[in-house]
Amino acid sequence: MHTLVLEAPGRLVATTTAEPSSPGPGEALVRVRRIGICGTDLHAYRGRQPFFAYPRILGHELGVEVLAVGTGVTQVQPGDRCAVEPYLNCGGCIACRRGKPNCCRSLQVLGVHVDGGHRERILVPASKLHGSRRLTLDQLALVETLGIGAHAVSRAGIEAGETVAVLGAGPIGLAVMQFALAAGTRVIAVDVSPARLEFVRTQLGVDTTVNAATEDVGTRLAGLTDGDLPTAVFDATGSALSMNAAFAHPAPGGRLIFVGITRENVTFSDPELHRRELAVLASRNALPGDFPRIIGLIEAGRINTTPWITHRAALGEAPGLFEAGTRPETGVIKAMIEV
């Protein structure tokens, strides 16, 4: 079957691989129909993704159709269209037992730690499929990205009326903004790209933006909050430079939430951290319950995914999408592979 393999940084090749076996107990064989390209994929393409080894079949933002199921599977059936929860957890470690499977001690993510969906068919645990009879395949492929934003906002425990800043207006930052807005907060979007800042204003309804390429972020955030600073700051950049600087941006008693990830060290001034009693949180992936919740929100029209997808290509043309995704001037928000 047709497959894309990331053999080394910058080398994504089209090849063929063997068909998967028939589904075993608890498994489902699915036809991959849509694959979103996200920051993790681009980091891997550039050689900057932590916990990553080459070669790897990428692809974890998936909209799929069920082809066959193994014994004991009742929650999905052939013909169902589903989003895939790509986080393969053990179920028995302390994190899993405490309801945090996203922090599983032996977590493997499709397309990151194990081969993913850049191919025509794949076997997955049926428990990781979340179906919808109403959502399009495009929408189903966006559920995982939205889940990362939903989980980050939940981690922050934000309340209506707060002012929050989101650093980075890529897909993960956009997902954070989406759920921060839904929580009733005032959102300030920060990015270096005028095009992305225009996108959040016109498509997400974020009316306050800061261009970090031309403005001093700390000064602007203070000015926009009457000197108070935002009570929660989300860094979705994956840039160590931004993450180090982000410690200065939350209000005293506020929270700093790292949604992006970097291979570099992140450092801060301990006296400043203590003086303002900041809470620093990491937010990793999403929880199983986020997937049906987001599907329901999209079905109800409370989340509009229409503006998200700006670029498309067939599986064999996908290397061009990766090249475009590494160049901000191309205007990529979310690229989608059609299989």
| Inside any domain, residue 29 | yes
Cα distance between residue 254 and residue 7, in whole Å: 43
* Domain co-membership, 266 together with 331: no
Contact 105, 93 (CB under 8 A): yes
| Inside any domain, residue 22 | yes
Q: What is the CATH number of the domain that holds 160?
A: 3.40.50.720
* Domain co-membership, 312 together with 272: no
Q: What is the CATH number of the domain that holds 81?
A: 3.90.180.10
* Domain co-membership, 13 together with 104: yes
Q: Which of 102, 142, 119, 148 is nearest to 6 (CA)?
A: 119
Output the pLDDT for position 43.
Answer: 87
Q: Which two tokens stand for residue 124?
A: 């997955």
| Inside any domain, residue 233 | yes
* Domain co-membership, 75 together with 158: no
| Inside any domain, residue 36 | yes
Q: How many domains does the chain have?
A: 2
Cα distance between residue 25 and residue 326, in whole Å: 40
Mean confidence (pLDDT) of the chain: 95
Contact 192, 214 (CB under 8 A): no
* Domain co-membership, 170 together with 252: yes
Check residues 325 and 130 and name the one with the higher pLDDT. Answer: 130
Q: Is the pLDDT of residue 205 over 80?
A: yes
| Inside any domain, residue 44 | yes
Give the tens place of pLDDT for each residue, 90-103.
999 999 999 999 99
Q: Which of 188, 67, 82 is nearest to 123 (CA)?
A: 67
Cα–Cα distances (Å) from 214 to 138, 171, 187, 199, 218, in that order, read 35, 22, 20, 18, 12
Question: Does residue 322 sit in helix, strand or coil?
Answer: helix
Q: Is the pLDDT of residue 326 over 70?
A: no
Q: Is the pLDDT of residue 5 over 90?
A: yes
Give the tens place of pLDDT for each residue, 53-109.
999 999 999 999 999 999 999 999 999 999 999 999 999 999 999 999 999 999 999
* Domain co-membership, 187 together with 119: no
* Domain co-membership, 38 together with 165: no
pLDDT band at 18 (very low <50, low <70, confident <90, very high): very high
* Domain co-membership, 87 together with 127: yes
| Inside any domain, residue 27 | yes
Q: Which residue has the tokens 């319950």?
A: 289
* Domain co-membership, 100 together with 64: yes
Q: What percent of the chain has pLDDT over 70?
A: 99
Q: For strands 255-258 and 232-235, give the pairing.
A: parallel
* Domain co-membership, 160 together with 227: yes
| Inside any domain, residue 31 | yes
Output the pLDDT for position 332.
Answer: 86
| Inside any domain, residue 251 | yes
- Parent domain of 157: 147-282
Q: Which of 122, 138, 119, 133 is nearest to 67 (CA)?
A: 122
pTM of the model: 0.93
* Domain co-membership, 98 together with 125: yes
Give the tens place of pLDDT for each residue, 252-284.
999 999 999 998 999 999 999 999 999 999 999
* Domain co-membership, 114 together with 239: no
